[in-house]
A = this chain, B = another copy of it.
Amino acid sequence: MNIHDLIRDLREPATTKIVLLVADGLGGLPLEPGGKTELESARTPHLDACVRDGVCGLSVPVLPGITPGSGPGHLGLFGYDPLQYRIGRGILEALGIHFEVGPRDVATRGNFCTVDGAGVITDRRAGRPTTERCVAMCQKLQKIRIEGVEVFVEPVREHRFVVVFRGDGLGDAVNDTDPQLTGHKPLPAKGADAASEKTARAVNDFVMQAAKILKDDAPTNMVTLRGFARYPKIGTMQEVYGLKPVAIAVYPMYKGLAQLVGMKVVEAGSSLDDQVKTMEKLWNDYDFFFLHYKYTDSTGEDGNFAAKVEMIERFDSVIPKVRALKPDVLIVTGDHSTPSKMKSHSCHPVPTVLVAKTCRTDPVTEFGESQCLRGGLGQFQAMYLLPMALAHAGRLGKFGA
């Protein structure tokens, strides 16, 4: 039986409230074997208090050994199996610029590139143009018209942009036109089925018009498109979990991911304090609050151990305000690990604490990777965190008599 069907069967009406605080890339590594991680090095009195009141564990975002991107990492935390619900690159790029993708859309990631007189690609990134030039080139491409299909062209930055094809019956089984190598011409788009053939015709028409429009604009004189993707079919959190969820995020990508699962996305300001104030203001209007904090990830990606420690401490400082709202269930976790030692996402499981009145005692006294190893939640797949939260919030009935 599908876990979502199980949840639909078991869920019960309730007025309890769940808060999910996601410190992006929270998990880390010690710089030297046997040393402390960023989280273990940080002074986190308020998170440590959560840990003593709650139950801890380590969240495996996808499967052991698999390093997730932000999409799969968050889908797991929202209660969706990231292996079942795949989000194509085109959709993620569109979400990342806060483009509202709909059910009739096929989204794709575009690159400006440079071609020579014979149409052969000499630079796949067109010498990394400025974002200003990217905006200007996209404005030119916005003039393209295709019969029966609406086209949206939106800049991302440098050589990157998004194209959305909107129409009836458009499939997304279309190959990338990017040959991935210089010295080759862009590939023609082909559809693997009738619906995708329709998309492919629109794509080839778009590329042909783009080539004409850009022909005197070297080095940005051609485009490639890849990661064709439709909006995934995904039950909303209302429909599956019976929750009324709100996303309090600053960055477009995370707003987009939240919107994908049916969360209300609100304007949340630009700082963590703004975000907490937003939560306070909306406290009576929702029962599930997703708050996304970016800087634990970005400092990890930068390889800046000390800065990540500082961002964790800043995150810790707002915990009392969240707890003052008295959520029935409070979860603090990350969507994946981003050890500053690796300057990238990693496959390491993520420290997690769940605070509720029904938590069993475990021996964890401080929030950190080594201590969470001994936590009562053990090592668990991220997709089971939300069912656990529902249970502790009294929102799931008994399975079977």
Contact = CB atoms under 8 A, between A and B. Distances in A.
| Interface range for A | 35 or more
Nearest to A1: B83
B82 A400 contact: yes
Q: Taking each of A36, A89, A347, A374, which has the highest tally of chain B beta carbons within 10 Å of its own beta carbon?
A: A347
Contacts of A359: 33
Interface stretch (A111-119, A200-208, A377-385): A377-385
Contact of A65 (B35, B83, B387): B387
A346 interface: yes
A113 to B, nearest CB: 20
Contacts of A375: 373
Interface stretch (A185-193, A212-220, A388-396): A388-396
A368 to B, nearest CB: 10
Given A86-B400, A391-B66, A391-B347, A362 B358 contact: no
Given A29-B358, A30-B360, A360-B348, A396 B64 contact: no
A363 B370 contact: yes
Given A1-B83, A6-B83, A68 B358 contact: no
Contacts of A69: 398-401
A360 B399 contact: no
Contacts of A86: 1, 400
A52 B34 contact: yes
A361 interface: yes
Contacts of A342: 358
B3 A400 contact: no
A20 interface: no
A82 B62 CA distance: 21
A358 B341 CA distance: 8
Interface in A72-102: 72-73, 82-84, 86-87, 89, 92-93
A199 interface: no
Given A67-B396, A89-B401, 6 more contacts: A29-B358, A62-B399, A64-B387, A65-B387, A348-B360, A373-B378
15 contacts: A1-B84, A6-B66, A10-B66, A29-B358, A64-B384, A66-B387, A66-B396, A68-B400, A70-B401, A71-B400, A344-B398, A346-B358, A360-B370, A363-B373, A373-B376
